[in-house]
Structure 1
Amino acid sequence: MMEMLGGRGGPVLVAALSAIVVAVAGGWLTTIDPWYRSLRVPSWKPPDWAFGPVWTTILTLAAVAGVLAWNAAPEGAARAWLVAAFAVNGALNIAWSGLFFRLRRPDWALVEVTALWLSIALLMLAVGRHSGIGAVLLVPYLVWVAIAALLNWSILRLNGPF
Structure 2
Amino acid sequence: MINSMMIIGGVTLFVALGSLLFRPRDTQWVKNLTRPSWLVFEPLIPFIWTIVFAGGALSATIIWEQDPGSLKTCLLMALYLLLEIVTVAYIPTTLRLRSLTVGTVLGGSGVILGVLLALVVLPISGLAALLLLPYVLWSPVGTYTTWEMIQLNPESI
User: Do the structures match in fold with TM over 0.5?
Assistant: yes
Q: Which amino acid aligns with 2:76?
A: L
Give TM-score scaled by structure 2 length: 0.88
* Cα deviation code 1:30-62 (max 9, x no counterpart): 867321111111112144431211111111111
Among 104, 110, 115, the residue aligned to 1:110: 104
Q: Which moves more between the two structures, 17-26 or 138-147?
A: 17-26
Distance apart, 1:74 and its partner CA = 5.9
Q: In the alignment, which residue of structure 2 is the partner of 1:139?
A: 133
Give TM-score scaled by structure 1 length: 0.86
Q: In the alignment, which residue of structure 2 is the partner of 1:26?
A: 19
Query: Could you tell me the percent identity over the aligned residues?
Result: 22
Q: In the alignment, which residue of structure 2 is the partner of 1:99?
A: 93
Among 52, 55, 72, the residue aligned to 2:66: 72
Q: In the alignment, which residue of structure 2 is the partner of 1:86?
A: 80
Q: Which amino acid aligns with 2:16?
A: A
Preserved contact between residue 89 and residue 116 of structure 1 (Cα < 8 Å): yes
Change (3 A) 1:72 1:21: same
Structure 1 segments of 4+ aligned residues over 4 angstroms from their partners: none
Q: In the alignment, which residue of structure 1 is the partner of 2:38?
A: 44
Identify unmatched segments of 5+ residues in structure 1.
1-5
Preserved contact between residue 20 and residue 92 of structure 2 (Cα < 8 Å): no
Preserved contact between residue 81 and residue 126 of structure 1 (Cα < 8 Å): no
Identify unmatched segments of 5+ residues in structure 2.
none
Q: In the alignment, which residue of structure 2 is the partner of 1:3?
A: none
Give the number of equivalent residue pairs: 155
